[in-house]
A = this chain, B = another copy of it.
Amino acid sequence: MNLRQIVEEDDTQAGRVFDRTIQILVVASIIAFPISTLPKLSHLVREILQWFEFIVVVLFTIEYGLRIYVSEHRLRFVTSFFGIVDLIAILPYYLGVALDLRSVRIIRIMRVLRLLKLTRYSRAVQRMHRALTIVREELILFGGVALVVLYLSTVGIYYFERDAQPDTFASIFHSLWWAIATLTTVGYGDAYPVTMGGRLFTFLVLVLGVGVIAVPTSLLASALSQARREDARREAEQHGADEGESRAR
């Protein structure tokens, strides 16, 4: 059992401990982040959170170093997806310290990208990816149709409501905000048509548009069901083939 088995594989006890430790650190640092944004925190809690962040970064740095050290093609690892993810998980902290930007918010928020480290261990992400591949064409088609519907809704409501509500529908981009909130049926209530024409237009948009926006959801769900059935069939066949083989012997 060498170092590479521990870092890159999970066949050994030590390898599993290593993987689990990294996962727990990711989740813990992800949970700690929102707590640190609470306005009223005692000095002690704030200090503990800062020390915890420091320790996590040190451990992730060691992990990053180990992964580079044990990989056969080091340059290939550094430029691979997971190599970049591992770097992104620690780089913001060092940049913040080096440039004294610890209080700059964008630096701190980049911490959430550590979540990507978890995809290394996730079979769920692979299944999701396969389902997306099945409905790829339809999603692109509906993405296009949805963009057109969004565009036409935006231009239309701008035409109908601009004069009646010059503030709420000040420009096409203000109208786009209305179109987004309406077609997804969120309906915050900060922008809505008040003219007869605008309301009739909204009716048309909702009747034709909501379906277009909501269809991809159903497509994705049915693709996931299909992926599940295919997996089940493959397993059953595999099982049947195994049995056939053992009988042949």
Contact = CB atoms under 8 A, between A and B. Distances in A.
A148 B124 CA distance: 13
Contacts of A171: 34, 37-39
Given A112-B151, A187-B189, A192-B188, A221 B224 contact: no
A30 interface: yes
Interface string A140-158: 1100111010011011101
Interface residues of A, number: 69
25 contacts: A33-B155, A34-B155, A35-B172, A37-B158, A38-B171, A109-B156, A112-B151, A115-B151, A127-B141, A138-B224, A138-B228, A146-B207, A173-B196, A177-B199, A180-B203, A185-B185, A185-B186, A186-B206, A211-B216, A211-B217, A211-B220, A215-B220, A215-B221, A221-B222, A222-B225
Interface of A: 30, 33-35, 37-39, 105-106, 109, 112, 115, 124, 127-128, 137-138, 140-141, 144-146, 148, 151-152, 154-156, 158-159, 162, 170-173, 176-177, 180-182, 184-190, 192, 196, 199, 202-203, 206-207, 210-211, 213-222, 224-225, 228
